[in-house]
Structure 1
Amino acid sequence: MARNVEFDEESAIRTAMEVFWEKGYKGASLRDLTDAMKINPSSLYNTIGDKHALFLRCVQRYTDDRKEYIAKHASSSRSPLKTIKIFIDDAVSNITTNPHSCMAIKAAFEVATDDIRVQAILKDDSDAMYRFLCLLLTSAMEKGEISADEDPEVLTDYLLSSYIGWHESFILNRDPIKIQRMARFLFKQLSR
């Protein structure tokens, strides 16, 4: 009787996440995934399921990591504006140094339009990011760090749409200076 190969599932998910992140859902073959995870296909099927089930787990892991980032930064500073600046700076750094862009954005365009399960994971992630930023902007207004004349929900939408646009700009232009300049301009607009 064939014996199932035991493996560290969390480590395997993270490894598969990197493959999906680099190649996309459609570009990653089952062999690419199992080779990277150092398991055989039967071990994958017996523990996680098929390629789609693995992809769902990877997208969930990616978005869980982002939620951990939010939780860490939500209470890390007494200045909401400073936390927003850290978020923007981290985004710029991630965009300009990560060769694969944002896995959530890639999955949204490649898979989520036709896959309600991926869409639900990404919607939950987007809602968490929205709440985090809107709360920071509202707090910054209450503390007088930014003008209270603006609508925090509109500012949150503006910040998130800028963030997504920076990803596209960097993919097309590979110009980190351009992203840094846009980020400085955005922060200047928020903090005036």
Structure 2
Amino acid sequence: MARPRKFEEDRAVEAAMRAFWTAGYEATSTQDLCAATGLGRSSIYNTFASKHDLFHKALRHYMDERNALLAELMDGDLPLKAKVRTVLWWAVEPEPDDPIGCMVVNSMIELGPRDPEIAELLRRDNDLRAQLMRSAIETARARGEIDAGKDPLALARFVFATVSGLRVMARGGADRAALESVARTALDAF
């Protein structure tokens, strides 16, 4: 019995996500996508309207996975500083099988300035992540974990700007010690 189309599509999106994450949108050819997904060119174009459509789905998949982890962490019972440390260390010590860097950050740099559809998707994703962290910071501030004068939205944006910078540093070849020093410095804001 053949596998359901939805299973094949989900598997293809996951594989394409890793290909785009590794090389970027422009540098990932249709042949690269065929090799990554195991699908032929006609199957890719029969399943997805275009390379751009597949990229959009892959980027959305990446965002959904990462944001689910972030939401779970921010809703948890850890003290705020431990939550922030965890987020920073996701950039310092990523999963060993993951490509270097961050697909969101890479896409902001590569496509944000010239692809309005992707730029809007990225903007909404940034807003969501900032709101998840802002809410956790507001809760922590109400509990007295951080100074009442600190701006929760500014702190949330600061954390994600730091994470983005760490991802770019990693992609540029920074060593673990350099990444840790930046992350530890960012933690001092809390």
Provide the TM-score with structure 1 as the length reference: 0.88
**Counterpart-to-counterpart distance in 2, 1:78 and 1:85:** 11
Equivalent-residue separation in structure 1 for 2:186 and 2:132 (angstroms): 18
Q: Is residue 13–residue 54 contact of structure 2 (8 Å, CA) maintained in 1? A: yes
Structure 2 partner of 1:68: 68
Contact 1:142 1:148 in 2 (8 A): yes
CA distance in 2 between counterparts of 1:156 and 1:87 reads 11
Shift of the alpha carbon at 1:172? 2.7
Say if 1:28 and 1:133 are closer, same or farther in 2 by CA, change over 3 A.
same
Gaps of 5+ in 2: none
Greater helix share, 1 or 2? Answer: 1
- CA gap of 1:106–1:99, structure 2 versus 1, over 3 A, is same
| Counterpart secondary structure, 1:62 | helix
Tell me the CA shift for residue 99 of structure 1: 4.1
TM-aligned CA distance change 1:105 to 1:78, over 3 Å:
closer
Alpha-carbon deviation of 1:9?
A: 0.8
Query: Does structure 1 conserve the Cα–Cα contact (< 8 Å) formed by 2:100 and 2:170?
Result: no
Distance 1:97 1:14 in 2: 13
Contact 1:92 1:180 in 2 (8 A): yes
Would the aligned equivalents of 1:96 and 1:170 in 2 still touch at CA under 8 Å? no
Aligned 8 A contact 1:16 1:58 in 2: yes
Contact 1:134 / 1:156 at 8 angstroms: preserved in 2? yes
Unpaired runs of 5+ in structure 1? Answer: none
- The CA deviation at 1:141 is 1.0
In structure 1, the residue matched to 2:134 is 134
Residue in 2 that maps onto 1:154: 154
Aligned counterparts of 1:151 and 1:6: Cα–Cα separation in 2 = 44
Deviation at 1:30, TM superposition (A): 0.3
Q: Secondary structure at the match of 1:185?
A: helix
Identity among equivalent pairs (%): 26
The Cα shift of 1:173 comes to 4.1
- Opposite residue 8 of structure 1, the aligned amino acid is E
Answer yes or no: is the 8 Å Cα contact 2:24–2:107 preserved in 1: yes
Matching residue of 1:188: 188
Once the two structures are superposed, the pairs formed by residues 1-192 of structure 1 within 5 Å of their partners are 8-94=8-94, 98-190=98-190
How far residue 184 of structure 1 moved from its aligned partner, in angstroms, is: 1.2
Matching residue's letter, 2:130? Y
Q: What is the Cα-based RMSD across aligned positions, in Å? A: 2.1
Counterpart code for 1:167: R
Letter in 1 for 2:17: M
Structure 1 runs of 4+ off > 6 angstroms? none
TM-score, structure 2 as length reference: 0.89
Distance 1:105 1:164 in 2: 6
Residues 126-177 of structure 1 deviation map (CA, whole Å, 9 limit, x = unaligned):
1111001111111111111111121112222222222211222223342111
User: SS state of the match for residue 178, structure 1?
Assistant: helix
